[in-house]
Amino acid sequence: MSANQRVSVIPQPVSAETRDGAPFTLAPTARISVAGPGAAEVAGLLMAELASDCRRDLTVVHEPPVYGDIAIVIAEDEVAEEHRAEGYSLTVTAEGVRIGAATAAGAFWGVQTLRQLVPVECATDPLTIAPLSIRDHPRFGYRGAMLDVARHFFGPDAVKRFIDAIVLVKVNHLHLHLTDDQGWRIEIESWPNLTAHGGSTGSDGSPGGFFTQSEFRDLVAYAAERHVTIVPELDMPGHTNAALASYPELNPSGVAPELYTGSKVGFSTLQTGDPTTDRFLADVIGEVAALTPGPYLHIGGDECLSTSSEDFLGFIAHASALVASQGKTAVGWHEMGKSENLPSGTVGQYWDFLTPRGSSGDETLSFVRQGGAVIMSPADVSYLDIVYEDGDRLGQDWADGPTELRSAFVWDPARIVAGLGDSHLLGVEAPLWTETMATVEDVEEMVFPRLAAVAEVAWSVAPADTEAVESARDFADFADRLAALGEHWAAAGIAFRRVPGVPWRDTVSA
Ligand code: ACM
């Protein structure tokens, strides 16, 4: 057994070693000692976690640590230059816990590692941690999860709960799929009917809903405090029935369709090349860009089966240029790579299978040819809405059959599209489409545990032999670590699925 395997953390850290000696024990007198820019904010979040999970009240002090303290130190030389953006170190000895990082983001990921090492019984039992030493940094800067709030709407509280859960496995981008045939979920002040009418229902006739601009700003700020960037998506020119139902003038026919509550795709399109549509585009892209401090604005572009090829190309060139004119980087599903007129730097999101079919690989390479990078979301392993096994109540099964946990873990993003290696990849994202998910519990059942597998693919070092990923990734070791993480999920009340093949432990009461 390597030293790595004795420290149970997901994603697997770059290096983790247990040390000899007495454990750290959190005493009632312990404090969180902070130094450096942003350390107090990270400490505040750790303090809140220890209060809610462990009923320990620690104070944050701007003083050097003394015996028994938890120290968070942010300074450039804490981390090697090439890993400063998000790297951290964590040492635990009897004398104290010390997290070192060059940035608040790095320190925050160190805190997430620490949270996984804190015993779940910490509210009633002594809080002890065996001595260890970790150095860690991510393989990819973009580690994403996508939540489709268009099919079924999930409001601000549900999304905050989702953010709280994803950061524990160091996911740092939340892509919100805000618009689709079934609903428009973000208030646009200049086009109020988009939400007043287009947000009034959802899949299966569910009640719908939308974020006001003030709720959305609050969500963006909540995410940012947790080092998560929100990536808003306005899916266009297909997947637009909710917009078309709200404004007849956006339709090629000039007639508004009914609101849609089914699960078909590919039947809707904006009228492209039209002055009203162009005004709509400038307004919605402008308002969403203004709400978004993050660098990305996703404009979809997938499954435009009712848009002619010529119209599609014209639309994508125009919409992506509008995004760039707002100072944002456009992101699009890989079909957008059909365009040779993308603003330099446009990001493509690949959603075909591990083995590309048709032109999906070439469309993905097109983003790199045009100076951009790629996010990998292969549907047959990273789509969280695909059933775990045949006959499941939740999910769909179109992506090459069920996706077991093992499949979500045993793959490598640099072995999918020939010619696309780590240097072309922004990162990895696991999307959840919610046609069949109506509740937070439904969402959590589909997302956990598979998101933990995809998060490890995105964060941890590439397997030594990526030619043979099957044998290079140690699923048994992952499953052991997952059992420990499952205890934390259970304590947090997360409705994760106890899939077979993992030595889950008994549920602990919170
Ligand atoms: C997609 O799954 N239509 C991106």
Task: Tell me, rounded to whole angstroms, the distance of Cα 308 from its chain centroid.
Answer: 32
Among 146, 151, 182, 303, which is best to mutate for testing ligand 1, by the most ligand atoms less than 8 A from CB? Answer: 303
Going from the Cα of 303 to the center of ligand 1, the distance in angstroms, rounded, reads 7
DSSP 191: S
CA-based nearest residue to 300, from 269, 271, 279? 269
- What number is the average pLDDT over the span 154-164? 98
Determine the Cα–Cα distance for residues 421 and 16; give it in Å rounded to an integer.
26
Give kind and range of the element (H or E) at residue 348.
strand 347-350
pLDDT at 506: 75
pTM strictly above 0.95: yes
Ligand 1 within 6 A of CB of 184:
no
Determine the Cα–Cα distance for residues 403 and 394; give it in Å rounded to an integer.
13
pLDDT at 509: 45
- Backbone φ and ψ of 425, nearest 5°: -100, 125
132 within 8 A of 116, measured Cβ to Cβ: no
Q: How many CB atoms lie within 10 A of CB 492?
A: 17
pLDDT at 120: 96
Going from the Cα of 146 to the center of ligand 1, the distance in angstroms, rounded, reads 11
pLDDT at 4: 42
DSSP 227: T
pLDDT at 124: 95
Cα–Cα distances in angstroms (integers) from residue 113 to residues 10, 15, 89, in the given order:
8, 13, 10
| Concatenated DSSP letters of 391-402 | T-SS-B-TTTS-
- What number is the average pLDDT over the span 424-438? 98
Alpha helices in 55-199 (DSSP H): 104-117, 156-167, 193-196
- Name the band, by pLDDT with cuts 50, 70 and 90, for residue 466: low
Determine the Cα–Cα distance for residues 148 and 233; give it in Å rounded to an integer.
10
- What number is the average pLDDT over the span 70-80? 98
pLDDT at 507: 59
- Domains of the chain in start order, with CATH, are 2-136 (3.30.379.10), 142-492 (3.20.20.80)
Ligand 1 within 6 A of CB of 383:
no
Cα–Cα distances in angstroms (integers) from residue 385 to residues 19, 160, 264, 444, 447, in the given order:
41, 20, 16, 11, 8
Question: 126: buried, middle or exposed (CB in 10 Å: 19+, 13-18, 0-12)?
Answer: exposed
Please check the confidence at residue 510 and state whether its pLDDT lies above 50: no
435 is catalytic: no
Tally of residues, the chain: 510
Tokens 């699923």 correspond to 475
- What number is the average pLDDT over the span 84-103? 98
Among 333, 384, 396, which is best to mutate for testing ligand 1, by the most ligand atoms less than 8 A from CB? Answer: 333
Question: 509: buried, middle or exposed (CB in 10 Å: 19+, 13-18, 0-12)?
Answer: exposed
Ligand 1 within 6 A of CB of 121:
no
Ligand 1 within 6 A of CB of 351:
yes
Protein residue with its CA nearest to atom 2 in ligand 1: 351
Ligand 1 within 6 A of CB of 489:
no
DSSP E strands in 62-118: the ranges are 70-74, 88-93, 96-101
pLDDT at 508: 46
pLDDT at 6: 74
- Name the band, by pLDDT with cuts 50, 70 and 90, for residue 1: very low
Segment 42-67, tens digit of pLDDT: 999 999 999 999 999 999 999 999 99
Segment 171-185, tens digit of pLDDT: 999 999 999 999 999
Determine the Cα–Cα distance for residues 408 and 410; give it in Å rounded to an integer.
6
Mean pLDDT, rounded, of the chain: 96
Give kind and range of the element (H or E) at residue 59.
strand 59-61
Ligand 1 within 6 A of CB of 303:
yes
Catalytic residue among 95, 303, 363, 487: 303
Query: Which atom of ligand 1 is found nearest the CA of 265?
Result: 3
Going from the Cα of 326 to the center of ligand 1, the distance in angstroms, rounded, reads 25
Please check the confidence at residue 2 and state whether its pLDDT lies above 50: no
